[in-house]
Amino acid sequence: METAANGIHREPWNKGKIVGQKAPFNVKDIWALRVRLQMEGRVRELALFNLGIDSKLRGCDLVNLKVRDVCHGDQVATRATVMQLKTQRPVQFEITPAAREAVQAWVKQAGLKPENFLFPSRLHDSPHLGTRQYARILGHWVNDLGLDRADYGTHSMRRTKATLIYKRTRNLRAVQLLLGHSKLESTVRYLGIEVDDALEISEQTEI
């Protein structure tokens, strides 16, 4: 228990919680959830999921996107550039055909205009989806996949494509740029690749 300057005792924020890096989704999980969201007609969630995977944005940046950030006129762009709230550094990302189709369908269904938030909140006191709302939606996705909610969070979305790209290319500099990190060391820690690479080498070593 911590004691604040005013003498009030406060519980540590992480007491009783599992903390640490959240697991990225694998390709099988990505496609399984996409199919489920499509089959159930969950248009907003499909757009949120696909764009979250493609953009590799932090949750705060994803929910703050406006239609004009990802659309040129009435068409979804193939690439977009966003100023990150945390670092105030621009980051560019590709929007794949699946994500473009999902976002286009959502913008049309919701009747959104360029100046509107891409994911408006259904709560009256918030103009756009909040990070806690986003986290709750992601929790439902994790449940849909039959995974352990303790292992996944909004950073699972940010880490997923970056992890897949690194595993395929081993190009750390490229992943650093895609995540918008200023330091390569941050990318190394974020992906946890030192541990992963050590385990991979261990598995390949016969005794």
pLDDT-derived band at 18 (thresholds 50, 70, 90) equals very low
Rounded mean pLDDT, 101-105? 97
**Count of domains for the chain:** 1
pLDDT-derived band at 127 (thresholds 50, 70, 90) equals confident
**Tell me, what amino acid is at 124?**
H
The predicted structure's pLDDT at residue 11:
53
Secondary structure (H, E, C), the chain: CEECCCCCEECCCCCCCCCCCCCCCCHHHHHHHHHHHHHCCCHHHHHHHHHHHHHCCCHHHHHCCEHHHHEECCEECCEEEEECCCCCCEEEEECCHHHHHHHHHHHHHHCCCCCCECCCCCCCCCCCCCHHHHHHHHHHHHHHCCCCHHHCCHHHHHHHHHHHHHHHHCCHHHHHHHHCCCCHHHHHHHHCHHHHHHHHHHHHCCC
The predicted structure's pLDDT at residue 143:
96
pTM greater than the 0.95 cutoff: no
Q: Decide if pLDDT at 124 tops 80.
A: no
Rounded mean pLDDT, 151-157? 91
- Assess if residue 60 is contained within a domain: yes
Q: Decide if pLDDT at 128 tops 50.
A: yes
Could you tell me which residue, 103 or 1, shows the higher pLDDT? Answer: 103
Q: Decide if pLDDT at 15 tops 50.
A: no
- Assess if residue 71 is contained within a domain: yes
- Assess if residue 85 is contained within a domain: yes
Q: Decide if pLDDT at 63 tops 90.
A: yes
Rounded mean pLDDT, 45-50? 97
- Assess if residue 10 is contained within a domain: no
Domain that holds residue 42: 22-189
The predicted structure's pLDDT at residue 5:
47
Q: Decide if pLDDT at 207 tops 80.
A: no
Q: What CATH number is given to the structural domain containing 50? A: 1.10.443.10
- Assess if residue 11 is contained within a domain: no
- Assess if residue 57 is contained within a domain: yes
Computed over every residue of the chain, the mean pLDDT equals 83
Rounded mean pLDDT, 34-58? 95
The predicted structure's pLDDT at residue 101:
96
Rounded mean pLDDT, 14-31? 72
Q: Decide if pLDDT at 27 tops 90.
A: yes
- Assess if residue 17 is contained within a domain: no
* Span 170-202, pLDDT tens digits: 888 877 887 777 788 777 777 776 655 545 544
